[in-house]
């Protein structure tokens, strides 16, 4: 079966611009989470969506936002890009919410802000 699909794989943007990243979870998975990975901070949780509702949010500024659609696909948006937003953005999906389940991650979108 298809895994978690993230598009685009690579992106170059200029400071001040905004960007939208897309994530298609595994079919049937309803929980989608987003993570940011940088060499300095490692992997950090951004937000979690379930049934089109944001259930949890990490410690990131309001420039970072997301949403989930009725088919469980999710998008995240970063407005007014800063150089420090350059990172690998990872999406993960799970069948349901619950600590007795594992997450499946996509390969990520590599964002470079110049």
| E-only strand ranges, 1-114 | 5-7, 10-13, 19-24, 31-38, 42-50, 53-57, 64-68, 74-78, 87-94, 104-105, 109-113
Residues 30 and 95: beta-carbon distance below 8 Å: yes
d(CA 2, CA 19): 25
Among 13-21, 27-35, 62-70, 78-86, which window interacts with other proteins (CB under 8 A)? 27-35
Tokens of 51: 């049934």
The verdict on 75 binding other proteins (CB under 8 A) reads: no
Q: Does 55 bind other proteins (CB under 8 A)?
A: yes
Q: Could you say whether residue 60 binds other proteins (CB under 8 A)?
A: no
Give yes or no for residue 106 binding other proteins (CB under 8 A): yes
Q: Which of 22, 44, 79, 86 binds other proteins (CB under 8 A)?
A: 44
Binding site for other proteins (CB under 8 A): 4, 31, 33, 35, 42-45, 48, 55-56, 58, 90, 92, 97-100, 102-108
């Amino acid at each position: 079966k298809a895994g978690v699909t993230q598009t685009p794989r690579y992106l170059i943007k200029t400071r001040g611009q905004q960007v939208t990243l897309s994530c298609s979870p595994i079919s049937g998975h309803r929980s989608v989470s987003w993570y940011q990975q940088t060499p300095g901070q490692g992997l950090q949780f951004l937000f979690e969506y379930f049934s089109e509702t944001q259930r949890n949010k990490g410690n990131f500024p309001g420039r970072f936002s997301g949403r989930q659609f009725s088919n469980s696909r999710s998008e995240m948006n970063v407005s007014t890009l800063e150089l420090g937003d350059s990172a690998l953005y990872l999406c993960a999906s799970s069948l349901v919410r619950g600590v007795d389940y594992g997450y499946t991650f996509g390969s990520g979108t590599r964002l470079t802000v110049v």
